[in-house]
Chains A and B, each alone.
Chain A
Amino acid sequence: MTTSVMHDDHHHEPPAGWQRWVFSTNHKDIGTMYLIFALVMMFLGGGMAMVIRAELFLPGLQLVQPDLYNNLVTNHALIMVFGVVMPAAAGMANWMIPLMIGAPDMALPRLNNLSFWLLPMGGTLLVLSMVVPFVGGGAPVTSGWTLYPPLSTQAGMGMDLLIFTIHILGISSILASINIIVTIVNMRAPGMDWMKLPIFVWAWMFTALLLVLIMPILAGAVTMLLFDRHMGTSFFDAAGGGDPVLFQHLFWFFGHPEVYVLLLPSIGVLGIVIPTFARKPLFGYKPLVGGMAFLATLGMVVWAHHQYTVGMSLAATKYFMIGTILISVPVGLMIFAFILTMWRGAMTFETPMLFAIAIIVMFSFAGVTGVMLAVVPADLQYHDTYFVVAHFHYALIPGALFGLYAGVFYWLPKWTGHMYDEKLGKIFFWWTTLGFNLTFFPQHFLGLAGMPRRIVDYNVQFTEFNVISSVGGILFGLSHLLFLYIIIKTVKGGEKAEAKAWEGAMIGTPGLEWTLSSPPPHHSFATPPVVK
Chain B
Amino acid sequence: MSAFNRKWLTGGSVLFLLLSAKEAFAEYAYNFPESVSPLTRDIHDVHMMTTKLAFWIMVVIIAVVAFSILKFRKSSGYEADQEFHKGTFGTWSWLLVPIIVLGIDFSISGPGLKALDMVEENIDADLTVKVVGSQWKWSYEYVNDDVKIISNLLPEEKAGDKYLREVDNPLVLPTDRKVRFLHTATDVLHAWWVPAIAIKKDSIPGYINETWTQIEKEGTYYGQCAENCGRGHAYMPIRVEAVSPEKFDSWMAEQKGAKLAALAEAQSDKEWALEELMAKGEKVYNTYCAGCHQATGLGLPGVFPALKGSAIATGSMEGHVDIVMNGKAGTAMSGWSAQLNDLDLAAVITYERNAWGNDAGDLIQPKEIKAAR
Q: Give B27's nearest chain A residue, CB to CB.
A: A464
Query: What per-residue 1/0 map shows which CB atoms of A278-317 lie under 8 Å from chain B?
Result: 1111111101000000000000000000000111001001
Whether B191 and A380, one on each chain, are in contact in the complex, defined by CB atoms closer than 8 angstroms, is no
CA distance A154 to B330 in the complex (A): 8
Judged by a CB distance under 8 angstroms, whether A460 is at the interface is yes
Whether B189 and A150, one on each chain, are in contact in the complex, defined by CB atoms closer than 8 angstroms, is yes
Query: Which of A340, A385, A453 is the most central at the interface, judged by chain B CB atoms within 10 Å of its CB?
Result: A340
Interface residues of B in 180-216 (CB under 8 A from A): 187-189, 191, 193, 195, 199-202, 204-207, 209-210
Whether B200 and A381, one on each chain, are in contact in the complex, defined by CB atoms closer than 8 angstroms, is yes
Whether B204 and A381, one on each chain, are in contact in the complex, defined by CB atoms closer than 8 angstroms, is no
CA distance A130 to B97 in the complex (A): 46
Judged by a CB distance under 8 angstroms, whether B276 is at the interface is no
Judged by a CB distance under 8 angstroms, whether B270 is at the interface is no
Query: What per-residue 1/0 map shows which CB atoms of B79-111 lie under 8 Å from chain A?
Result: 111101100001001101110111011001100
Contact of A344 among B64, B84, B233 (CB under 8 A): B84
CA distance A138 to B330 in the complex (A): 9
Q: Give A444's nearest chain B residue, CB to CB.
A: B30
Whether B97 and A464, one on each chain, are in contact in the complex, defined by CB atoms closer than 8 angstroms, is no
CA distance A377 to B209 in the complex (A): 15
CB distance from A332 to the nearest CB of B (A): 4
Given the known inter-chain contacts A321-B112, A346-B80, please indicate yes or no for A328 contacting B105, CB distance below 8 A. yes
Judged by a CB distance under 8 angstroms, whether B19 is at the interface is no
Interface residues of A in 337-384 (CB under 8 A from B): 337, 339-349, 357, 360-361, 364-365, 368-369, 371-372, 375-378, 380-381, 383-384
Whether B84 and A151, one on each chain, are in contact in the complex, defined by CB atoms closer than 8 angstroms, is no
Judged by a CB distance under 8 angstroms, whether A455 is at the interface is yes
CA distance A342 to B81 in the complex (A): 10
Contact of B164 among A150, A245, A459 (CB under 8 A): A459
Determine the chain A residues whose CB is within 8 A of the CB of B61 once the complex forms.
335, 339, 360-361, 364
Whether B109 and A456, one on each chain, are in contact in the complex, defined by CB atoms closer than 8 angstroms, is no
Contact of B119 among A245, A340, A376, A453 (CB under 8 A): A376
Judged by a CB distance under 8 angstroms, whether A329 is at the interface is yes
Whether B80 and A345, one on each chain, are in contact in the complex, defined by CB atoms closer than 8 angstroms, is yes
Whether A325 and B72, one on each chain, are in contact in the complex, defined by CB atoms closer than 8 angstroms, is no
Q: Give A369's nearest chain B residue, CB to CB.
A: B54
CB distance from B209 to the nearest CB of A (A): 4
Judged by a CB distance under 8 angstroms, whether B225 is at the interface is yes
Q: Which of B5-13, B41-49, B245-253 contacts A (4 or more CB under 8 A)?
A: B41-49
Whether B65 and A336, one on each chain, are in contact in the complex, defined by CB atoms closer than 8 angstroms, is no
Q: Give A244's nearest chain B residue, CB to CB.
A: B204
Judged by a CB distance under 8 angstroms, whether B327 is at the interface is no
Whether B230 and A459, one on each chain, are in contact in the complex, defined by CB atoms closer than 8 angstroms, is no
Given the known inter-chain contacts A67-B303, A283-B90, A384-B200, please indicate yes or no for A450 contacting B29, CB distance below 8 A. yes
Query: What per-residue 1/0 map shows which CB atoms of B29-56 lie under 8 Å from chain A?
Result: 1111100000110110011001101100
Whether B230 and A309, one on each chain, are in contact in the complex, defined by CB atoms closer than 8 angstroms, is no
Judged by a CB distance under 8 angstroms, whether B262 is at the interface is no
Judged by a CB distance under 8 angstroms, whether B266 is at the interface is no
CB distance from A511 to the nearest CB of B (A): 18
Determine the chain A residues whose CB is within 8 A of the CB of B301 once the complex forms.
65
Given the known inter-chain contacts A65-B303, A380-B119, please indicate yes or no for A325 contacting B201, CB distance below 8 A. no
Q: Which of A85-93, A140-148, A204-212 contacts B (4 or more CB under 8 A)?
A: A140-148
Whether A376 and B116, one on each chain, are in contact in the complex, defined by CB atoms closer than 8 angstroms, is yes
Given the known inter-chain contacts A344-B72, A347-B69, A383-B200, please indicate yes or no for A238 contacting B205, CB distance below 8 A. yes
Judged by a CB distance under 8 angstroms, whether B73 is at the interface is yes
Judged by a CB distance under 8 angstroms, whether B143 is at the interface is no
Contact of A377 among B46, B75, B227, B233 (CB under 8 A): B46
CA distance A461 to B162 in the complex (A): 9
Interface residues of B in 295-332 (CB under 8 A from A): 301-303, 330
Judged by a CB distance under 8 angstroms, whether B228 is at the interface is yes
CB distance from A457 to the nearest CB of B (A): 5
Judged by a CB distance under 8 angstroms, whether A173 is at the interface is no
Q: Give A325's nearest chain B residue, CB to CB.
A: B105
CB distance from B67 to the nearest CB of A (A): 9
CB distance from B196 to the nearest CB of A (A): 9
Interface residues of A in 434-475 (CB under 8 A from B): 445, 448-450, 452-461, 464-465
Judged by a CB distance under 8 angstroms, whether A70 is at the interface is yes
Contact of B105 among A284, A326, A365, A384 (CB under 8 A): A326
Q: Give B56's nearest chain A residue, CB to CB.
A: A368
CA distance A348 to B78 in the complex (A): 11
CA distance A361 to B188 in the complex (A): 39
Contact of B94 among A280, A284, A322 (CB under 8 A): A284
Judged by a CB distance under 8 angstroms, whether B335 is at the interface is no
Interface residues of B in 145-171 (CB under 8 A from A): 161-165
Given the known inter-chain contacts A148-B189, A154-B188, A280-B82, please indicate yes or no for A346 contacting B72, CB distance below 8 A. yes
Whether B226 and A384, one on each chain, are in contact in the complex, defined by CB atoms closer than 8 angstroms, is yes
Count B interface residues, CB 8 Å.
Answer: 97
Whether A357 and B69, one on each chain, are in contact in the complex, defined by CB atoms closer than 8 angstroms, is yes
Whether B69 and A239, one on each chain, are in contact in the complex, defined by CB atoms closer than 8 angstroms, is no
Q: Give A74's nearest chain B residue, CB to CB.
A: B228
Contact of B161 among A333, A346, A380, A460 (CB under 8 A): A460
Judged by a CB distance under 8 angstroms, whether B369 is at the interface is no
Whether B74 and A143, one on each chain, are in contact in the complex, defined by CB atoms closer than 8 angstroms, is no
Whether A344 and B81, one on each chain, are in contact in the complex, defined by CB atoms closer than 8 angstroms, is yes
Given the known inter-chain contacts A325-B105, A380-B201, please indicate yes or no for A142 contacting B54, CB distance below 8 A. no
Whether A318 and B116, one on each chain, are in contact in the complex, defined by CB atoms closer than 8 angstroms, is yes
Determine the chain A residues whose CB is within 8 A of the CB of B223 once the complex forms.
450
Judged by a CB distance under 8 angstroms, whether B15 is at the interface is no
Determine the chain B residues whose CB is within 8 A of the CB of A342 once the complex forms.
65, 68-69, 72
CB distance from A461 to the nearest CB of B (A): 7
Contact of A311 among B207, B234, B330 (CB under 8 A): B207
Contact of B68 among A339, A448, A458 (CB under 8 A): A339
Contact of A375 among B46, B80, B228 (CB under 8 A): B46
Judged by a CB distance under 8 angstroms, whether B113 is at the interface is yes
Judged by a CB distance under 8 angstroms, whether B279 is at the interface is no
Contact of B85 among A239, A280, A365 (CB under 8 A): A280
Determine the chain B residues whose CB is within 8 A of the CB of A494 once the complex forms.
none
CA distance A375 to B42 in the complex (A): 13
Whether A347 and B68, one on each chain, are in contact in the complex, defined by CB atoms closer than 8 angstroms, is yes
Whether A381 and B50, one on each chain, are in contact in the complex, defined by CB atoms closer than 8 angstroms, is no
CB distance from B266 to the nearest CB of A (A): 30
Judged by a CB distance under 8 angstroms, whether A66 is at the interface is yes
Whether A151 and B228, one on each chain, are in contact in the complex, defined by CB atoms closer than 8 angstroms, is yes
Judged by a CB distance under 8 angstroms, whether A498 is at the interface is no
CA distance A372 to B52 in the complex (A): 10
Whether B72 and A239, one on each chain, are in contact in the complex, defined by CB atoms closer than 8 angstroms, is no
Query: Which of A151, A328, A376, A381 is the most central at the interface, judged by chain B CB atoms within 10 Å of its CB?
Result: A381
Judged by a CB distance under 8 angstroms, whether B124 is at the interface is no
Whether A325 and B84, one on each chain, are in contact in the complex, defined by CB atoms closer than 8 angstroms, is no
Determine the chain B residues whose CB is within 8 A of the CB of A341 once the complex forms.
85
CA distance A357 to B70 in the complex (A): 13
Whether A339 and B64, one on each chain, are in contact in the complex, defined by CB atoms closer than 8 angstroms, is yes
Interface residues of A in 141-173 (CB under 8 A from B): 142-144, 148, 150-151, 154
Whether B233 and A384, one on each chain, are in contact in the complex, defined by CB atoms closer than 8 angstroms, is no
Whether A244 and B82, one on each chain, are in contact in the complex, defined by CB atoms closer than 8 angstroms, is no
CA distance A124 to B107 in the complex (A): 50
Query: What per-residue 1/0 map shows which CB atoms of B13-34 lie under 8 Å from chain A?
Result: 0000000000011001111110
Determine the chain A residues whose CB is within 8 A of the CB of B65 once the complex forms.
339, 342, 357, 360-361
Cβ-closest 10 pairs across A and B:
A238-B206, A380-B199, A368-B54, A455-B234, A445-B30, A377-B115, A449-B29, A287-B94, A375-B112, A344-B81
Residues of B within 8 A of A (CB): 24-25, 28-33, 39-40, 42-43, 46-47, 50-51, 53-54, 57-58, 61-62, 64-65, 68-69, 72-75, 78-82, 84-85, 90, 93-94, 96-98, 100-102, 104-105, 108-109, 112-113, 115-120, 161-165, 187-189, 191, 193, 195, 199-202, 204-207, 209-210, 222-235, 301-303, 330
CB pairs A–B below 8 angstroms (6 shown): A67-B230, A339-B68, A340-B85, A371-B105, A378-B50, A450-B33
Known pairs A65-B303, A278-B80, A361-B65; list 4 more (Cβ under 8 Å).
A67-B303, A328-B101, A339-B68, A342-B68
